[in-house]
């Protein structure tokens, strides 16, 4: 099964495509680029985060509601990336010694289904 993913590299570069072999415990996965269909091998540690999305278009006028309380998704978390961006969501698997962790958005209407955050790209992670 192919997953739509938007990858944000630590360098600031963003790419969109599909993957069928992303696993949080693997160092690499393959990205079939949306623009051109090139198949690239991506080193997970070169990323800031990978956003698994419903659609590549999203809805730029939509603002995520971070105040939504959701049950069954783990603990609510606030992640500040090294570039200053802040992400809120829920996680069941954050520990600072792991290379990365998944976050589920607070807003059930988010275009993001889940986000894989690379621990090295974070400045501050705290439960809220």
Question: Residue 12 contacts by C-beta under 8 Å, 6 or more apart in sequence?
Answer: 83
Residue whose tokens read 């995520």: 64
pLDDT score for 61: 67
pLDDT score for 1: 67
Of 63-67, 78-82, 100-104, 117-121, which range is least confident? 63-67
Q: What is the pLDDT of residues 20-75, one digit of tens each?
A: 999 999 999 999 998 777 899 999 999 999 999 999 987 766 777 788 888 999 99
For residues 1 and 70, the model is more confident at 70
Residue whose tokens read 């969501």: 89
Q: How far, in Å, CA of 107 to CA of 84, rounded? A: 21
Mean per-residue pLDDT, 85-113: 94
Mean of the per-residue pLDDT values of the chain: 93
Mean per-residue pLDDT, 102-128: 96
pLDDT score for 115: 98
pLDDT score for 39: 92
Supply the Cα-derived Rg of the chain in whole angstroms.
Answer: 14
pLDDT reading at 84 higher than 90: yes
Q: Where are the domains of the chain?
A: 3-55+67-127
Query: How much is the pTM?
Result: 0.93
Q: Distance of alpha carbon 87 from its chain centroid, rounded?
A: 10
Residue whose tokens read 């790419």: 15
Q: How far, in Å, CA of 125 to CA of 87, rounded? A: 10
């Amino acid at each position: 099964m192919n997953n739509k993913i938007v990858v944000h590299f630590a360098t600031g570069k963003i790419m969109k495509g599909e993957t069928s072999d992303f696993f949080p415990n693997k160092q690499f996965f393959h990205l079939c680029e949306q623009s051109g269909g090139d198949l690239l091998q991506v080193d997970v540690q070169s990323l800031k985060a990978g956003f698994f999305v419903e659609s590549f278009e999203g809805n730029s006028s939509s603002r995520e509601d971070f105040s939504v309380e959701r049950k069954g998704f783990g603990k609510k978390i606030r992640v500040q990336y090294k570039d200053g961006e802040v992400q809120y969501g829920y996680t069941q698997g954050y520990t600072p010694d792991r290379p990365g962790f998944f976050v589920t958005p607070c807003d059930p209407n988010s275009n993001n289904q889940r986000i894989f955050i690379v621990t090295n790209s974070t400045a501050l992670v705290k439960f809220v």
